Amino acid sequence: MFDSLSDRLGGVFDRLRGRGALTEADVRGAMREVRIALLEADVALPVARDFVEKVTEQAVGQNVLRSVTPGQQVVKIVNDALVEMLGADESELNLGVTPPAVVMMVGLQGSGKTTTTAKIAKRLSGGAGGRDRKKVLMASLDVNRPNAQEQLAVLGEQTEVATLPIVAGQQPVDIARRAIQAAKLQGYDVLMLDTAGRLHVDQALMDEMKAVADIAKPQEILLVVDSLTGQDAVNVATSFSEQVPLTGVVLTRMDGDARGGAALSMRAVTGKPIKFAGTGEKLDALEGFHPSRIAGRILGMGDVVSLVERAAETIQQEDAERMARRMEKGQFDLNDLRSQLQQMRKMGGVGALAGMIPGMKKAQAAVDQAGGDKVLLRMDAIITSMTPKERAKPELMNAKRKIRVAKGSGTTVQDVNKLMKMHQEMATAMKRIKKMGGLKGMMAMLG
């Protein structure tokens, strides 16, 4: 996610921060590069232009250029503008006050609509590892695609979320009526309506969607779009929002979207907030969309809050808190690296943590390149073969000790060196967080 943009911007800002004093020309030069980086990330042209104009105007101000840390200030201005472009405050689902709240899902065929319906239902219901404790009912109104209703029923079983019994031959508006009645009578908090997909924006289906919305009076109408389609996703959102009062957008396949153009332009072009990001095929691969955290990720400052949150879901609360405290102090020894690696395995393998923690992206790339989970196990073996003292004080690891550890873990000295190097990079990143004033300082800076 946002990898190439993050790399490009990282280069630009490292150069800016590397200098003591900045001139207006320096800032303008850097902003030209920012503009190119945004366009390469497939951000809509007018959005990129506005962004750069706004940032330049603020950044060439005398207060910035004459300040003690002009480079840092420019980064902060870019960060704030990014957060604004992504939608400032994060958007939670609005479930209203009188249940059942109706959440209607709309979108093109294949966008991931049915999967996302189940993901959101799971998250709301607390079923099979979900977070909240709402009573959720799902109903498929898709009578066009064969087996669409059965597909939702299967997902309901997997997520332990109830689905409306299927009545053959019933039409969408009638199914919606029956679903609302069932939700009311049986005391459901939330009713999720999965509507028929369409191949393109098609009038008959749009009319059907409007008829359903009329009787279901949804609290939320969420459009599901595939982030991999880039600016097309933004165009689809624009056409849908002309027909139905969308309340938000869910971007799927963010796991495969290295450029991020749809995510970056969606809010600015359509005015609709992104409420969730789909990050994989598994039914828990759904994340809230938090503009300030995403800006932090893009600017390479790591998304520490998401990391700690994600960790808290998977591992013991105390572990997560301990980790947060150590990060706060800028500490990171081999025990910490080991628990990171173990979490990487627990959290659905390599990939889960990419980009969330400073320095982790590089570690991730190294692990991926070397063959994923197998490497994690090997690294774990290396750390296990060390003495507790060595784990707490990695600087003890001299050549002799490395040979011993390599033998003990059935690896090579080269493997041990690689692990030590990865640790070194992450420890440096932790120190950098501390310099920014710890987690709190970093969060403050991120806005």
Residues of each annotated binding site: 107-114, 194-198, 252-255
Q: Provide the edge-to-edge strand list for the sheet that holds 190-194.
A: 162-163, 136-140, 190-194, 101-107, 220-226, 248-252, 274-278, 286-288
Position 278 contacts ligand GDP (CB under 6 A) = yes
Segment contacting ligand GDP (CB under 6 A): 89-97, 208-216, 274-282, 298-306? 274-282
For the CB of residue 223, give the shortest distance to ligand GDP in the complex, in Å: 11
Specify the residue for token string 């002799």: 400
Position 229 contacts ligand GDP (CB under 6 A) = no
For the CB of residue 281, give the shortest distance to ligand GDP in the complex, in Å: 4
Distance CA 340, CA 360 (A): 10
206 vs 285, which CB is nearer to ligand GDP?
285
Cβ-based neighbours of 444, under 8 Å, separated by 6 or more: 437
Output the CA torsion sign for 280, 285, 288, 290: negative
285 vs 347, which CB is nearer to ligand GDP?
285
How would DSSP label each residue in 339-398? HHHHHHHHTTSTTTTTTTSTTHHHHHHHHHHTTTHHHHHHHHHHHHTS-HHHHH-GGG--
Segment contacting ligand GDP (CB under 6 A): 16-24, 180-188, 249-257, 380-388? 249-257
Distance CA 173, CA 152 (A): 18
Which residues define the annotated binding site for GTP?
107-114, 194-198, 252-255
Distance CA 268, CA 47 (A): 7
Among 279, 292, 339, 343, binds ligand GDP (CB under 6 A): 279
Position 111 contacts ligand GDP (CB under 6 A) = yes
For the CB of residue 105, give the shortest distance to ligand GDP in the complex, in Å: 9
Distance CA 51, CA 57 (A): 10
Among 58, 73, 91, 115, binds ligand GDP (CB under 6 A): 115
Distance CA 429, CA 246 (A): 41
How far is residue 400 from each of residues 337, 382, 407, measured CA to CA in Å? 22, 14, 11
Among 112, 218, 273, 358, binds ligand GDP (CB under 6 A): 112
Among 56, 219, 252, 265, binds ligand GDP (CB under 6 A): 252
135 vs 310, which CB is nearer to ligand GDP?
310
Among 280, 302, 355, 394, binds ligand GDP (CB under 6 A): 280
Among 11, 165, 256, 437, binds ligand GDP (CB under 6 A): 256
For the CB of residue 151, give the shortest distance to ligand GDP in the complex, in Å: 7
For the CB of residue 152, give the shortest distance to ligand GDP in the complex, in Å: 9
How far is residue 255 from each of residues 69, 298, 355, 368, measured CA to CA in Å? 35, 15, 12, 15
254 vs 422, which CB is nearer to ligand GDP?
254
How far is residue 401 from each of residues 380, 390, 396, measured CA to CA in Å? 17, 9, 8
Segment contacting ligand GDP (CB under 6 A): 21-29, 51-59, 206-214, 252-260? 252-260
Positions touching ligand GDP (CB under 6 A) are 107, 109-115, 197, 252-253, 255-256, 278-281, 285
